[in-house]
Structure 1
Amino acid sequence: IHDHIKTQHQVNYYSSLLNVTPNHLNKCVKTITGKSAVKWIDENILLEAKYLLFQTTLSVGEIATQVGFEDQSYFSRFFKKTEGISPIRYRKLIDKSQLLIRES
């Protein structure tokens, strides 16, 4: 997943790489992680986006592109649905916590 997460978000893609059916991949991932393959992929996309929000000054639109979303608004909805806050709000919280750490 880590090698292709920026461009591939479909279970079918990963199952074909492994020469297994999407159903088999889902069952294996669920058995090992307790999560569906789709959930696993989404969490990895989110992790990469959070890393980019934290470690770079890229705009949300640039980050959306970096993690494989052509539409920034769709990326923002995806991020908010999975994380509970918008990417902009997430970055502001990071900046605020970094400021508090420096002031301590």
Structure 2
Amino acid sequence: MSKTYNQMHEKLVKSKQDFTGMIAYSIYKTEKRDAIKNGINVDEFTRLKLRPNEVKKYKIEAEGLVNLFLQAAADDEIKRIKEQLTKEINQITIKGLPKEPWYKKAGLLAQ
């Protein structure tokens, strides 16, 4: 195993709040783990993955996953708001209905 320090974390994660970078790094680590399990030389794997196009690939994949998550969260919130508005409209409609049928007010039926 290599004794040189791998700079991939710094290339992918810019701060503690960089969740997209953290996801990208997790994708990298998963690939690295799989490569090791399959007998690929770690030094060769690392050298290949540190190339700018590979780093960019991890970032793009992570951004796609973040976007999927955000879209799902937005869809859930839209659904919740629609359901809430439907309930409120139904309550307003029911409150707006007359308490007595119109034909009683008109005196059409004898009481």
TM-score > 0.5 by shorter chain: no
Q: Report the structure number with the largest CA radius of gyration.
A: 2
Task: Compute the TM-score of the two structures, normalised by the length of structure 1.
Answer: 0.30
